[in-house]
Amino acid sequence: MSTPLLHKVYDSSIFKEEGDHLINLLSDYLSKTVSMESEKVINWSEPDEEYLFWKNFKQKGYTTSQLFQTVIERSIHTHHPHYIGHQVAPSVPLSALATLLSAQLNNGMAVYEMGAASTALERVVIEFFTQALGFKNGDGFLTSGGTLANLTALLAARSIKASSDVWNEGATHKLAILVSEEAHYCVDRSARIMGLGSGGIIKIPSDKNFKMRTDLLETYYAQAINNGFEIIAVVGSAPSTSTGVYDDLEAISAFAKAKNIWFHIDAAHGGAAIFSSKYKQLLNGANQADSIIIDGHKMMGISAITTAVLFKKSTSSYAAFEQKAQYLWEKNDDPDWFNLAKRTFECTKSMMSLRFYVLINAYGSQFFEDFLTTLYDTAINFGAFIKEQKDFELALDPVSNIVCFRHIGKGGNLDDINLNIRRSLLEDGIFYIVSTRLRGDFFLRMTVMNPFTNMTHLAALLENIRKIVNNK
């Protein structure tokens, strides 16, 4: 029997009232962060302190809108032009609204009936990608993030390329993949989940610019074969996470073809360059990939979390979790494209196609072009600017929106100096940047994710760093 509380919980007038508050709050938030009226990009607190704050929150008897306001205040602000840290986009407001729609409709998506509109839209969104990539007979689906997307694509690779039926029989012999030492850690993780073990993740060294040394592929391949491995795939990064450098996809593709192995591209970060007339050449060779993944929540401005998993051959799109069925589909005119859980790791998943489609519908591919091109341009200009500063060192010329650099002005232990800079910036909260280690050395790392970040902001960052160094 429904109770008064249940009626209250689902009361549409409360939804409207709270919804109006929230939209007003977010609208105010958007304008204050983008314009930098709110000074800080992060209000830093130590994890235990934050935990205690929230543990005691309920006792204070705050309303829902006060709760939402407090969450905003205590969260990092990706829409602030001084947010130049990890690779998460300041979500486009329309995409956030689509996420709200998805959350309230809560269609489950696993089978067609549980999300007719969003299932059909998912196909439209996938076609948007496959056309841009030049996959004439391509297909794919959306999944929850680049990590899961890479795992799914590699499962398809194993299903199609391995000489044994691992899905049904388990591992019968040693399988391996080739990947740059600079690849995102999730590729390594995927391989381990697939039971390849440390030996099955063959890391190809990178050159001085952190690109995979494709000239070494043959040697590493031969060694692995001698050691009893069957190589099923080679993975290119477009770009790699630490430095933002794209691997030579054409060379990797040629190698994959020669060896008859799967060619997968982890383009979680930079696959959206396909929509930029200026930067699409970074993806030359991508049209030869067997699979490629592209994150919406990185370089496409889409609310987290949503990733496209794309296959050159539509039949491959069914291979990850349906090893037997893939043979069936090849002969079958009706591959049941609309029951998405056959192809995704998730059973229930969010209606993520809406977040893409709302932008395609409102702005077309021009938005994706403007977004990525602006971010890459700004970072590349900033790289040139750093080079002119005597007290800073640029790790490498940026080719995308990721820039690695460090302060060298005062001599001493550069790792300690730059570790301190990063920590001071975090605690101060005026800028948010991150860090990486390149060949063992500590570098400051930033990703221009916000199209409103400009050279004035970035020059101010360097001034801020100088002040930190001079105060120590």
- For ligand PLP, the binding residues (CB under 6 A) are 87, 145-147, 184, 186, 237, 241, 266, 268-269, 295, 307
Closest separation between CB of residue 151 and ligand PLP, Å? 10
Closest separation between CB of residue 338 and ligand PLP, Å? 25
Preceding omega of 265 cis (within 30 degrees of 0): no
Nearer to ligand PLP, 119 or 237 (CB): 237
Cα 133 to chain centroid, rounded: 18
**Residue pair 207/198 in contact by the 8 Å Cβ criterion:** no
Closest separation between CB of residue 286 and ligand PLP, Å? 14
C-alpha distances in Å from residue 233, one per residue of 38, 68, 177, 217, 227: 48, 46, 5, 12, 17
Nearer to ligand PLP, 122 or 322 (CB): 122
Nearer to ligand PLP, 186 or 417 (CB): 186
Fill in the amino acid letter for 74. Answer: R
Nearer to ligand PLP, 264 or 407 (CB): 264
Closest separation between CB of residue 153 and ligand PLP, Å? 11
Nearer to ligand PLP, 88 or 251 (CB): 88
CA dist., res. 160 & res. 158, Å (int): 5
Q: Which helix (H) or strand (E) holds 364?
A: none
Closest separation between CB of residue 187 and ligand PLP, Å? 7
C-alpha distances in Å from residue 126, one per residue of 129, 360, 374: 5, 12, 24
**Residue pair 132/204 in contact by the 8 Å Cβ criterion:** no
Nearer to ligand PLP, 80 or 445 (CB): 445
Nearer to ligand PLP, 237 or 350 (CB): 237
Closest CA to 318 of 334, 294, 296: 334
Nearer to ligand PLP, 149 or 469 (CB): 149
For the CA atoms of 265, 269, 273, 278, what is the dihedral angle to 10 degrees? -120
C-alpha distances in Å from residue 47, one per residue of 51, 52, 53, 54: 6, 9, 10, 11
Closest separation between CB of residue 400 and ligand PLP, Å? 11
Pairing of β 307-311 and β 402-407: unpaired
C-alpha distances in Å from residue 106, one per residue of 5, 91, 103, 119, 126: 21, 20, 5, 13, 21
Closest separation between CB of residue 223 and ligand PLP, Å? 26
Nearer to ligand PLP, 24 or 75 (CB): 75
CA dist., res. 288 & res. 257, Å (int): 9
CA dist., res. 114 & res. 68, Å (int): 30
C-alpha distances in Å from residue 280, one per residue of 124, 276, 313: 22, 5, 22
Which residue is closest to ligand PLP by CB? 146
Closest separation between CB of residue 234 and ligand PLP, Å? 15
Closest separation between CB of residue 149 and ligand PLP, Å? 7
